[in-house]
Amino acid sequence: MTISVPVVAPYLSTIRSFPNDPEHKFCYVAWVYRGAKYMVRTIYFNGRFDGRDSPSVFNQIVDGTLWSAVNTTSDYAPGNLHNDQLL
C-alpha cells in the first residue's frame, strides 16, 4: 500500500504497519557480531493513512527489550523523524 501525500523521499511513501499484537513479532533481521556497536537509524513519516490527524506514538523493541519510545509529536509539523540509537 502507498500513500498519496507528497513526501521528501520515495521510500517514505510505502506503508509499514505493525499492529499492537503481543502474539506476533513484526521484525527486520540484521546480522550482528558479539561485542560490536551499531548505529541504527529509523525514519518515520506520518502520511495520515489511517485518516487520523494525530502524530504517531509507539514503542520500538529490539530482541524483546524496549529500545525506545517514539513520540513524533514535536516533529509532526515537518512530518518526519529520524531516531538514532546506539546499540
86 vs 15 pLDDT, higher one: 15
Residue 1 lies in a domain: no
Residue 71 lies in a domain: yes
Number of domains the chain is built from: 1
84 vs 40 pLDDT, higher one: 40
What Rg do the C-alpha atoms of the chain give, in angstroms? Answer: 14
Rounded to an integer, what distance in angstroms lies between the CA atom of residue 21 and that of residue 61?
13
Mean pLDDT, range 68-83, rounded to an integer? 63
Residue 4 lies in a domain: no
Residue 3 lies in a domain: no
Residue 5 lies in a domain: no
Mean pLDDT, range 67-81, rounded to an integer? 66
Mean pLDDT, range 8-18, rounded to an integer? 72
Rounded to an integer, what distance in angstroms lies between the CA atom of residue 75 and that of residue 4?
20
pLDDT, tens digit, 9 for 90 and up, residues 16-66:
777 777 677 666 778 889 998 887 777 777 666 667 777 777 787 777 778
